[in-house]
Structure formats: C-alpha cells, structure tokens
Structure 1
Amino acid sequence: MDTTVATSGEAPALTASSTTGGAVDKPSPEESPSLPVDYTVTLAWRFAADVGAHRAEGIPRMLDDILVELRTQYIDAPGQFEGHLIDLVGLQRIAHRSEVFAAAETRFHWDEVGHLAALGERGRWIESVLSQREAWLSLAPDRQRAWLELFARAETHLDKALIRHWPEIAKLNERFPAWLSLHLSGETLQAWHAAFDAQSASARDVFMKIAAPETAYLPAQAVAEREREQQRSTSRLAAFLVLAVVIGFVNLAIQGWPRSRATSMTSPLEASLPPDTPRQCVELYTQLNSPDAFEGKRADEIDTLKARAHRCQRAGHWHAQTAR
C-alpha cells in the first residue's frame, strides 16, 4: 500500500496578513508600521488566540460573540471574517479545527445553495470537507470512534504504540484528506509516517497484516448488505445440501421398499426353510393342487407346505408344469 502522506485537499489561500506559522499572533507595529491591519483580521487573530487558550466546548459562544461585534461594523465585515476563519482552519493555523469548522458551518450557512460557490477556492475546500465528512459518517460507528481516539492521542503525543496504526491512517488520508486535516495536523502525519518507515521491514509487514480490513473503509450499510448476502448464500447452500440428503434417503427407501416389504411379509417359518428351486415349486404346486393334499398330515407339516407355497408364489414360480 502506498503510505505517502497526502495533503489536506485543495487548501484555501490564507491572506498574507493572517499567516503567522503554527500560532496566530498579531504582528507588532514595529514589524509592519506602514501596513494597516484590517479590523476583521484583528478579530480573527483574537478568536484564534481565545480558541487556543480555552476548551473546545466554548467555541460556539466565542464565535457568537465575534459575530455580534462584527455586525456593529461595516456591512462586509462578517464576510471578510468568514474568509479569514476558513484560511485559519484550512491551513491549520488554529486549534480545535473540527469544532471551529462545525460552529462556523451553521453560523455562516455553508449549507445554503450558492453560498460556497461565491466563496471561490475557499468554498471548494469546504465542499470537499463536507463531502468527505459524509463518507466518513457512513463508516461503522465503532470504527469511527476508534480512529478518532487515535487522532486525539497522536495530536497529544505520538507514542510507540501508535506507530502500528499508520497503514490505517494512510488509507484514511487517501480517502478523506480534507476532512482528516480537521483532526490531524500535517506535522503529525509526517511524523507518524516517518516513525513507521523507521521500523524494520518485518515489523512494517506485520503492521500491514494486522491493520483493519478493507471492509473497514466501506460504508457500514454496504458491508452489512454484503454480510446478509453471504448469509443468504450460505443458507441456500445449506438448504440445497439438506434437500439432497433427503432426496437421497427417499431414493434409498424407494429402492429398498420391495425387498423390505417382502422381508416384512416373510414368516419365521419361511425363513427357517431351505429355498425351493423353480422345479420344486412346480412339483409343490402339483401336489397341493389335489383336493386331498393335506389329508393325513400333521398341522406342522401343513404349515410347512403352505409356507413353501407362499414363498414360491412371491418368487413367481407358483404354477403348473408347462409343456416343453
């Protein structure tokens, strides 16, 4: 698998006045005495600083406070601040990017038709995040939770236990680069990749083999449907095998029925007698065809003659001697 770290999609172009490296700090007057600082840029710096200093839960309130202040300024101020905020998030110049994006999404109405198109490059980047987020949310919930935990751990400290998960992170970065940039910084991805490459070839091979299967990156509904289809195929095969066994037993029963029936009709006395030849059956037929065939004979002798006659009849030899 190609484990090259992809970029975070089509990143927006941050304005020159708002790029300050990893942190967002207002430049001192001595550094740029002749360049006037736009009011919305100042608010963007202040917001970024507040976000970095507080917990993520407070982001919606802080953004609301900024918007209240913006509405007291000139008419274009909210739109200009929106552009700066997108730059801060897209170029990873602000903390808690996922929470900032979610708060800004509702407050700047990024779901309205035509709004993102009006934002140009920034709007296209937002569209890619939203599209990739939708695909991410289609994954199995337990997979989402497990990977989000890995993201948070890696952003705090990239310990050795995380290295084995790089093959999964690389696949996620291939599929959701813009969305993933809200959770993992480019520096963290590069460090993770480098730590994985520093392992021995055998260790990397093991990590690749124990990584999540390909189905983990597919929509949960598609995986569930695939499993249901496999179960249906297994059930159909099992039903076919059961039917084949039943048919086999039925065939055996049908084939063995005449013999079984004949056996069940054979009396113990018949079973104890030696078999008669066709000639003997004909002679017995002639003997018993006489009106006084049983005259002067004991009861056991009569039973024996009758048993022999029944057996000859079933064998098809019970008839008079035919002329040659």
Structure 2
Amino acid sequence: MTAGTPWHLQVLGLPGYADPVAVRRAYAAALRQIDPETDPAGFGRLREAYEAARAWCEAGASEPTLAVSTDVGALRYDAREPEEVTAGASPDHPPVTDNTLALAMDFAAGVGTHGAGQVAALLAASLAEVRKQYIDAPGLYEEHLIDLVALQRIGHRVNVFAAAEEQFHWHEVGHLAALGERGQWVEKVLSERDAWNELGTDQRHGWLAVFARAETSLDTSLLRHWPEVARLRESYPAWLGLHLSHDTLQAWQSMFDAQSPSSQDMYRRMALPDSAFLPARVARARERARGRSSSWLAVLVMSMCVGIGHLVFNGFADKPSVPYDPTPLPADTPRQCADLYLELDAPDALAGRASVEAERLKTRADRCARAGHWHPPAPGR
C-alpha cells in the first residue's frame, strides 16, 4: 500500500489500481468482520469508505445495506447488488454474477423467520439456487455460511451446523483442510461435540434445557447453574457457542460476579460433582472402583470397631456407656431425586435453612448425581 493511496481504499485494504469489482468484494469481506450493533462507528466508517471508493471508481450502482433482524443472529439484506466474477472471463465467456453472499443472507433471514424445524429444508432450497450459479459458487456459499455461524450472525446455530455438515460432507477426508481457518473452526466444533456426547445423557439433557432457558430469558434463577456453565465453556467453547451467544454468556457471568462471596460459594457447592463432567464410561468405571474400595474400607473399619469394642467392654465394663444413634440418610429414589432437583433449582433454595439441613440436602443431591438421577422430572410424570 503506497502513501498516495486514497484513504477509502486503505480502509478497504485495496491498492490504488482497484476496480469496482475489487471494491465490492473487499466491502463484502469487511462486512463479515464487523457488527453494526456493537461497532456503529466502525460500520459507519466502512460504509463511508465504500461509498467514496465507489465514487472514485465511477460505479453508480447502489450497494446493499446490512440490517440486523429482531430474531437473534438473523441477518438480511434490504437491497442486493450482485457481484461480477471476472476470473477466467473472456469475450466467449463473459463475467458471471456472484449472488452467494446475498443467498446466504436470505437463508439466514429465512431461518430467523421460520424457526429450527425448517432449517434443513431452507438450506437445501438455498443450495439448489446456488448450484445454478457458476462452478465455484457452492464453495463461496459454504464459506459465507460458516462465517454466519461462527460469528453468531444467524439463529438456530445447532440446526444450521447439522444441516450444513450433511450438505457439505464435512466428514469427508481432506474437505475441511481445504477451507483453511474456517475448516479448522468446523473441526473444533465436531471434536468438541464428540466429547460432549460422551457425557452422561441426563447431564447433557439437563444442561441443554438450562441453555435454552438462558437464551430465552436470563434471570436470577439461573445463577446456581453458572459454575457448571463456566466449566463447560472451558472445555467446549466452540460447541457451546452454537447454543449460547457471547452476549448471554457475558451477561450471565456479570450477574454471578455481582453476587456476594457467600452466595457465590453456595452456588459453587450446589454444582454437580466432578464426575458429572467426565465421560459417562469413565464416571461409571470410577464409581465401580470407588464401590470396591468402599467395601474393603467398610470391612477394615468394622474390624477396627469390633476390636475397639472389645477393648472398651473389657477395660471399662464398670463405666456406663453413652449410646450414639445418628439419623440415617437413606438413598433417594429416581422420583425423589427429580423432586429434589426442582426444590434446589430455586435461587434461594438453601436460604434460611439450618446448616445441618443444608448439608443433608447437598449430600442427597450428590448421591442422586452419582447415581445418574440428577435431572428434572420427565414430561408427563
């Protein structure tokens, strides 16, 4: 970039000999890197640079303006101007029109309007239109779609990702490598999803329900779940981004950080045990090993108690003994565990309770989690 390059071309990252097609491409690429809602000043400067570059190139056609729909992540174009693809053009093969970005934006708008149930059908219809374009159009469309999902500019990202995975055959050897950084991001999501699916079924279903609640309405009743979500964010950041937006996660953490230290500590103690974050097969193996160790330990303790009892009886038979009969704590049934889950799901579940009672509730919750019963009641029960 030379010192004499006009400022508007510098903003777009273009050289002084850029033509109208290069200006449109640079503007479209820059739009994917900026959010008009969070950076209105940056978007305004980009728009100003684009208009100045168009005038400088004597391109009189109007360019689309980006607008964010009220639906989370859904984008649309108010007006569209296709881009000419000049690579390989000749008098016998004139430039073709690139509508891939506009078609991707139309798909995002359709997802926001029609919902998760129509994602697969909408993507198939959109790709059918893309394949009517020039030979490289599906590849460019795929890149636009990955950007929309990765940058959280589209709704129902889990469904969109699954539909795109099937349509673009992301499991084929070598396909993701050809996509560069975008392919690396897709590979990361796939890897984290595989690890996520190794977790216990009840835990996964419970967390997914919590994610859905948080995206719909984030309130104080969800504070007790933040320690668990924070751990999940560390292990599955890309996969979690398909379920929870960056704004939701930031607001959730801010709400938790605003609580008193004692409240934060209480929520952390109410979180699921470490075993809930392990693959189900690993957790089961550890539980079996713990059971075997507990059996041997019980035998050892019983033997020690018998020996001590003999000593006490023989050495202090003339002294009165004080009996100790602790209240038993039987294991809960699956139904009782589900009811306990609902009871402790309230934001102030332990407020006002005696310390002994609170500890008993936490012990019961821990036993339920270890037994795989820590989740809300099944629908209809």
Which shows bigger deviation, 72-81 or 93-102? 72-81
Q: 1:290-305 counterparts in 2 under 5 A?
A: none
Alignment-derived partner of residue 24 in structure 1: 75
What is aligned with 2:29? 15
Normalised by the length of structure 1, the TM-score is 0.66
In structure 2, the partner of 1:113 is 173
Residues 219-270 of structure 1: CA deviation (Å, up to 9, x unaligned):
110010001112222344556789999xxxxxxxxxxxxxxxxxxxxxxxxx
- Report the Cα distance in structure 2 between the residues aligned to 1:193 and 1:241, rounded to whole angstroms: 45
Structure 2 residue 199 is matched with structure 1 residue 185: no
Looking at structure 2, the residues matched to 20 and 74 of structure 1 have their Cα atoms a distance apart, in angstroms, of 29
- Percent identity, please: 53
Alignment partner of 1:74 is 2:134:
yes
Contact 1:140/1:216, CA 8 A, preserved across alignment: yes
TM value normalised by structure 2: 0.56
Q: What's the CA shift for 1:199?
A: 1.0
1:50 alignment partner, one of 110, 113, 126: 110
* Distance in 2 between residues matched to 1:87 and 1:137, nearest whole Å: 25
Q: Which has the higher contact order (CA 8 A, sep 6+)?
A: 1
> Counterpart in 2 of 1:138?
198
CA distance in 1, matches of 2:189, 2:224: 27
The Cα RMSD (Å) is 2.5
For the pair 1:220 / 2:280, whether they are aligned, the reply is: yes
- 1:61 pairs with 121, 142, 148, which one? 121
Q: Does 1:161 align with 2:198?
A: no
Is 2:261 the partner of 1:201?
Answer: yes
Q: Match for residue 291 of structure 2?
A: 231
Aligned-residue offset at 1:178: 0.3
Q: Secondary structure at the match of 1:25?
A: strand
* 2-structure distance, mates of 1:78, 1:88: 15
The structure having more radius of gyration, on CA atoms, is 1
Return 5+ residue gaps in structure 1 as ranges: 1-13, 246-324
Is the Cα contact below 8 Å between 2:98 and 2:133 reproduced in 1?
no
| 2:150 paired residue number | 90
Between Structure 1 and Structure 2, how many residues are aligned?
A: 230
1:252 corresponding residue in structure 2: none
Indicate if the aligned counterparts of 2:193 and 2:239 stay in contact, CA closer than 8 A.
yes
- Per the TM alignment, residue 23 of structure 1 is displaced from its structure 2 partner at its CA by 4.1
Q: Label 1:69 to 1:170 Cα distance change in 2 as closer, same or farther (>3 A).
A: same
Deviation track 1:294-323 (CA, whole Å, cap 9, x = no partner) reads: xxxxxxxxxxxxxxxxxxxxxxxxxxxxxx
Partner of 2:331: none
Q: Which one has a larger percent helix, Structure 1 or Structure 2?
A: 1
Q: C-alpha deviations, 1:276-297, integer Å up to 9, x for none?
A: xxxxxxxxxxxxxxxxxxxxxx
Q: Give the match for residue 161 of structure 2.
A: 101
